[in-house]
Each structure stands twice: as structure tokens, then as C-alpha cells.
Structure 1
């Protein structure tokens, strides 16, 4: 059995590469389509294709995991990602890129779903927040580096995409060091749609952060380049501003994970939602100052950039362990739903007033903070979960 450190390192590198790919592909294609004269609405629909792919593959994730195992499912995702990344610069047009991004989203979902569940399964309960925050930190580092690949365009359209493909290909060596592991089989009483209803009923608050994170990520990387160009920013300035949200997340990613282990994830998420919501609402007022825009994006990223991992950790805290795979499916669907809604809604908002997209993001975060006031963990789950965590801690 590989050591916990080796497995965590492998997952960190994998998700870091995935971050580079998404951080580059989303804004790069948005800019290329904008330069071709494609409308903001059509551009948004094309950007949503990746997340439609995430949603389409979500119903099959659990079955693929049961059949292929963690490593096998991750390898399948890598194959889809490499093939679509290579084909993007060899083709052009809305329709072709739409379908390529569908497959890219499916591959990305396979990679993230299985690495997250594998890490959640091996993480000790008292270190879960910290370990998932490191996972999120790795994604953030990759995501912040990705947009810099826009500056490689003068060397050829194919250069940034080939670089990403090389990174993905090197992942096969890392995975070869891990033994394939299969999750615990589901009992008959655990199968069926009742598991998803159970998760929605008792863990609904923990599912919202994934939607919000998908909405914010897609807005900033799919719609922000269009916003920047329309208010007169250069492509180089956009490539500098884009990583600022993720760089902000890097500042507090690990501290927030550690604090959430001690203080409680719900309190941390609610506090961060308020601060992030205010930062986004103030952003339209800072359009005349590059430094103010940079500062507000850094603040917003610092407090809400770890929402996805914190929400996943919170769900694992309050729900039985055999429900976690179902949580992973719902979280993936919610993330893709937010990511699909954002570019399409922003396409309309950009036509009305560019700053409205940030106001809406801020209001959504404030609404989440208010919803947290009314959420209470059901006593049976809290008791059962404490017993599971105590037993797991004693076995470590």
C-alpha cells in the first residue's frame, strides 16, 4: 500500500496540472472568440460546453469508479483530456470547439471526482480540512499559472496546448507508482436515488459552495476577459488580473483549512462569504483603478477561493461515510450547473452593464451566508459521524 504522503503528492501534482489546463483554456478561447467577433452570449455558451460535459458524465461517475477503480478512472480522464487538448489548436469554429470542450469537461470531471474521493477516503478526520485545502492550493497554483500561457501565443497557437498535453502525459508516470484501489462496494440498502435525496435533505448547505465556486470560476475565467476588453483593458492586463483571484486563494487556502478543522467549517464559510460578497459588490466601483481591481480580486479569492474544498470537507463531516460518493456526484453537478449558468447569464449582463456580473456574484455569496443561519445538522447524523471519526482515529 503506497504511503499517505506519496498518494497526496500524486494527487497534488495531478490537480495542479488540471489547474494549469483550465486556467489557460477558459480565458484563451474566450479571447480568441472575442477577437473573431463572436457575440458575448455565443462566447458564453461555448465556454459552458466544458461544464455541460461535467454534468453529462456525472451520472456515470460512481459506476465507472466501481468498475475501473480510482486509478483506472483517473487514467480514462487523462486520456480524454490529452486528446481534446491536442485537437483544439488543430481545429476552429464554435461547433467543433463546443464538442471538444464537452469531452474535456468529462475528462476533467473524472480526474477531479476520483482524486477528491480517494483523498477524502484516506485522510484522517482531524486532518481532512488541511489535506483538502492543500489539494485546493495545488489547483489554485496551477490555475494562476495557466493564464500566463496566453503570452505564448506569438510563438504559435499550438504552443500552449502542446505544453499542457506534455504535463498531462507525465501524469501517467506518477499514477504508475500507485496501486489501483476500488471503493467499498455499496450495499443494496445504499443503492438507488434515495441516497441523493438523503444528501440533499440533510447536507444541502454543504452542497451550495460547489455551485458558488463553479459560478465564480466560470465568471472570472470565461466572462472576465470579455469584461476587461470591453472596458478598455489590454489582453496583457487581463492576463495579469485573471490570476489575482486564485493568487488570493493561495494566501488563505491552508490557514482556512486548518482553522475549519478547529473552529468549524460552517462558521468559516459563512464569514468568508460575507467578506467575499462585499468585495465583489465593490468591484464595479474600482473599474478606473487597476490596483483597486487587483486588490479586490485578491481579497475575494483569499476568502472564497477554497469554497469547493471546504464544502466537500463539510459534507464529509456531517454525513455518513458511505454517502460521500453520492456527495461527490452532486457536488460535480452543482459545480457544472453554476459554471453553465454563469457565462450565459453574464452574456446578458455584459450587454446591460459590465459591472453587473460582479454585483450578482456578491449577492449570491451574501445569500449563502444568510442561508447558513438557518441550517442545522441533524442530531442522528452528528452522533453517527462522531462515532465513525472516533473509530477511524483509533485505527490510525
Structure 2
């Protein structure tokens, strides 16, 4: 794994930035291809997913793996869940990531409710991925020189402010700036929490620990959308207040970690 190298912060930032580029370019490319034939994006997406399988094996054969597992899989999982530091790290990251999982639902719903055009909604959403793409690598380099935990805590608390702004100010420019700020704060929490996980995981168990970390954090994409939708039906700005609260809760748990 690339993160085993000295510059873990920069490596993880590059890794997550590539994900962000995919999130930013995928809908655009899919929309262009879909104009030719609506089914083509699905075929191409399936092909790319299939090509990812041999890519993993290629990386494995070239040596980017973490060694042989020496103990039973379930024993290793037990070690993870019985380690307080790791459990708190995963829990805090999961809570913060709930906010990202809600953005692509909340922003279109809220934007439509206040009469924003689809183009304006797209600009607002893109602001997150643009700032994430441009800022996470420099932040990753900075993280090598500062305390990562302190950086994560500061970004967790700072990430609550954009959600509060979104609940009160509904101008396209202001909302875009708020999403851009989240690309820095929320994005930094996720990237640097991944770095921390890689650092605290045993050297010969990093693959398992990172897989467990990602699988738990990714549950946010299953759990949060219906919660955010329900909050929206109660009050259109309620999801933003909920997300601001989650950022603060996540920051508090990071302090306990």
C-alpha cells in the first residue's frame, strides 16, 4: 500500500483526490455519453468496474500488498473492535462522513424547494469536489508537519459553520462558498482520519484494518439519505442543522480518541 511510505498524508490525499476527480468528472462524461444513447453510460460503467478487477491483481503482483495474514480473520476483527482508540476513530469518522453522504441529496432537494435552477444546483455541488481536488494534496503535505489529530478536530468543528450558513443564506454564491469550505474541512477529516487509521494499524494487518474502516464509514451512504430526507420533510433547513450537529459530535469524539 502506498500509504506505507513516509508521506502517508500526501499519499492518502492523492488517493482521495483521484476519487474526487471521478465524482466530479463521472456525471459530466456520463451525461455527454448519455446524449448519444441513454444505456451507454451503464455499459461503460460496467466495463470499467470489470477492468478494476485485474488492476487489483496487477497491483498485488507488483508488490503493493501488506503481507500474509498470520491469524484467523475473526480473531483480527476482534482485535479491532476491542481496541478503544480504533473504535473511537472509526465512530467519529463515520459520524462526520454522514454529512458527506447527505450532500448529494440535500442540496438538490433544498435547491429545488427554493427555486434554484438545475445548473445552479450543479454549480453548488461541484464547489465541494473542486475545492477537495485542489486543496487535499497541499493539506496532506502540511499534515506531515503538524499534529494530525489536532488538524482533524479543528476541521470537524470548523465544518459545522458551512452547514449553519447553508441553513440561513440561500444565495448561489454563498452556498457555493459554503460547499467549497466543506470540501476543505469535511474532506480533510476523512482523508486524515484514513491516515491515522493506517498509522495505528499493525504493520501486517493494515489491509484488514483499512478495509474494516472503509466498510464501516461507507455505511453512512446507506443510513444517512433516508434520515436526511425525513428531516427535510419536517423542515427544509433541518438537514443542515442536523449535519452541523454531527460535525460537532464527531469533533468531540475525535478529542476522546
Q: TM-score, normalised by structure 1?
A: 0.57
Using the TM superposition, give the Cα deviation of residue 209 of structure 1 relative to its aligned residue in structure 2, in angstroms. 5.0
3-state DSSP of counterpart to 2:104: helix
- Provide the aligned length of Structure 1 versus Structure 2: 253
Alignment partner, residue 114 of structure 1:
none
Alignment partner, residue 222 of structure 2:
340
Using the TM superposition, give the Cα deviation of residue 229 of structure 1 relative to its aligned residue in structure 2, in angstroms. 2.2
- Which has the bigger relative contact order, CA under 8 A and spacing at least 6? 2
Q: How far apart, CA to CA, are the structure 2 residues paired with 1:216 and 1:323?
A: 29
Relative distance call for 1:362 and 1:157 in structure 2 (3 A) is same
Q: How far apart, CA to CA, are the structure 1 residues paired with 2:211 and 2:55?
A: 25
Relative distance call for 1:167 and 1:333 in structure 2 (3 A) is closer
The runs of 5 or more residues in structure 1 that have no matched partner are 1-117, 376-396
Using the TM superposition, give the Cα deviation of residue 207 of structure 1 relative to its aligned residue in structure 2, in angstroms. 1.3
Relative distance call for 1:169 and 1:318 in structure 2 (3 A) is closer
1:234 to 114, 117, 120: 117
Using the TM superposition, give the Cα deviation of residue 173 of structure 1 relative to its aligned residue in structure 2, in angstroms. 7.4
Alignment partner, residue 80 of structure 2:
196
3-state DSSP of counterpart to 2:245: helix
Alignment partner, residue 143 of structure 1:
23
Superposed CA RMSD in Å reads: 2.7
1:317 aligned to 2:211? Answer: no
Q: Summarize the alignment of residues 137-216 of structure 1 with structure 2, pairs less than 5 Å apart.
A: 137-149=17-29, 151-152=31-32, 153-168=34-49, 171=52, 178=59, 180=61, 183-187=67-71, 191-199=75-83, 201-208=84-91, 210-212=93-95, 214-216=97-99
Query: Any conservation in 2 of the 1:137–1:250 contact (CA below 8 Å)?
Result: yes
Query: Any conservation in 2 of the 1:136–1:306 contact (CA below 8 Å)?
Result: no
Alignment partner, residue 167 of structure 2:
284
Higher CA-based Rg: 1
Q: How far apart, CA to CA, are the structure 1 residues paired with 2:180 and 2:48?
A: 27
Q: How far apart, CA to CA, are the structure 2 residues paired with 1:291 and 1:189?
A: 50
Relative distance call for 1:133 and 1:307 in structure 2 (3 A) is same
Query: Any conservation in 2 of the 1:134–1:254 contact (CA below 8 Å)?
Result: yes
Using the TM superposition, give the Cα deviation of residue 369 of structure 1 relative to its aligned residue in structure 2, in angstroms. 1.9
Query: Any conservation in 2 of the 1:277–1:366 contact (CA below 8 Å)?
Result: yes
Query: Any conservation in 2 of the 1:208–1:311 contact (CA below 8 Å)?
Result: no
Alignment partner, residue 77 of structure 1:
none
3-state DSSP of counterpart to 1:262: coil
Query: Any conservation in 2 of the 1:141–1:250 contact (CA below 8 Å)?
Result: yes
Using the TM superposition, give the Cα deviation of residue 138 of structure 1 relative to its aligned residue in structure 2, in angstroms. 0.8
**Cα deviation code 1:352-380 (max 9, x no counterpart):** 112211221111111222233333xxxxx
Q: How far apart, CA to CA, are the structure 2 residues paired with 1:147 and 1:331?
A: 27
Query: Any conservation in 2 of the 1:215–1:338 contact (CA below 8 Å)?
Result: yes
Relative distance call for 1:336 and 1:168 in structure 2 (3 A) is closer
Q: How far apart, CA to CA, are the structure 2 residues paired with 1:168 and 1:192?
A: 29
Query: Any conservation in 1 of the 2:96–2:250 contact (CA below 8 Å)?
Result: no
Q: TM-score, normalised by structure 2?
A: 0.84
**Cα deviation code 1:271-325 (max 9, x no counterpart):** 11122111111112122x1111101100111122133331121122234324434
The runs of 5 or more residues in structure 2 that have no matched partner are none
1:134 aligned to 2:14? Answer: yes
Relative distance call for 1:177 and 1:190 in structure 2 (3 A) is closer
Alignment partner, residue 264 of structure 1:
147
Q: How far apart, CA to CA, are the structure 2 residues paired with 1:206 and 1:143?
A: 25
1:299 to 178, 181, 191: 181
Relative distance call for 1:371 and 1:177 in structure 2 (3 A) is closer
